[in-house]
Amino acid sequence: MNVFFETNKGLMRENNEDSLIVEQFDDYCLYAVADGMGGHKAGEVASFIVIDEMRKYFVSNVEKKDFKPPLFIIESVKLSNDRIREESFKNEECLGMGTTLAMVIIDKLQNIIYIGNIGDSRVYLLRNNELRQITSDHTYVNELMKEGKITPEEAKTHPKRNVITRALGSEEIVHADIFELELFENDILLLCTDGLTTHVSDDRILEIIKRYGASQSVQKLIEQANDNGGTDNITIIIVDNMIRGETNDR
């Protein structure tokens, strides 16, 4: 299993408020991206807190016999949310801060992928030349699309397209959507913040990964997002379950 990742502040932002995790053990791997939001530098505080809490909780629990990925997602989200809110109330500059989260745990023994998300950071699966978004954005425009009130094309230019309806730190209790999938040989997982998906379409993401392979695609995708405006921080993790000797033709 090969992993490639990078975070970039883009062209328009002074700070990088994104954070990421790559933690790999013999039986389980944890990958996550978080996109912080808030006042002066508060966004980077929020995203750092969730990544820091999850990393520590994962490292301290992953080798226990009773480790269960769905329970880990639930418990680590609660711990992170509580910590963000505690810091927010202690520090006036951090009041109201929050963060998105998109995370993946891979059970290498059972070949199962567990996915959790809050907000509009995403997890995609590339399988059999098809790129599929697994997570569902917690955004105002996505709710409008689900209700049939606007089309996907209208959503791209909607004035409230950046309004998030769920974020860590925003409420006393925040739940992650949790998904479970079987992991197949040659699957590729893409985790990203919306700095990528705001500027690069799913079709173009697929085209780049197929053309350059997992090892070069992170940098190529960041370049594409910046070429198309670079208005936000961009964070990408690509997990490639390519079997040695296979080609990159997805």
pLDDT digits (tens, 9 = 90+) for 155-185: 877 888 778 999 999 999 999 999 999 999 9
Tokens coding 2? 């090969």
Match 């808030």 to its residue by tokens: 38
Q: Residue 1's closest CA among 34, 19, 27?
A: 27
pLDDT score of 247: 43
From residue 55, alpha-carbon distances to 2, 33, 105, 190, 210 in Å are 20, 12, 12, 19, 31
From residue 70, alpha-carbon distances to 100, 103, 162, 179, 237 in Å are 18, 11, 28, 9, 21
Average pLDDT, integer, range 127-150: 91
pLDDT class of 250 with cuts at 50, 70, 90: very low
pLDDT score of 40: 64
pLDDT, tens only, 24-52: 999 999 999 999 998 667 999 999 999 99
Average pLDDT, integer, range 81-89: 96
**Mean pLDDT across the chain:** 93
pLDDT score of 143: 86
CA distance 93 to 60: 31
At the second CATH level, the architecture of 2-240 is 4-Layer Sandwich (3.60)
**Is residue 102 a contact partner of residue 121, using CB atoms and an 8 Å limit?**
yes
All structural domains of the chain with their residue ranges:
2-240
Average pLDDT, integer, range 95-113: 96
pLDDT, tens only, 197-243: 999 999 999 999 999 999 999 999 999 999 999 999 999 999 999 86
**Is residue 3 a contact partner of residue 239, using CB atoms and an 8 Å limit?**
yes
Cite the DSSP H helix spans in 17-151: 42-61, 69-90, 140-146
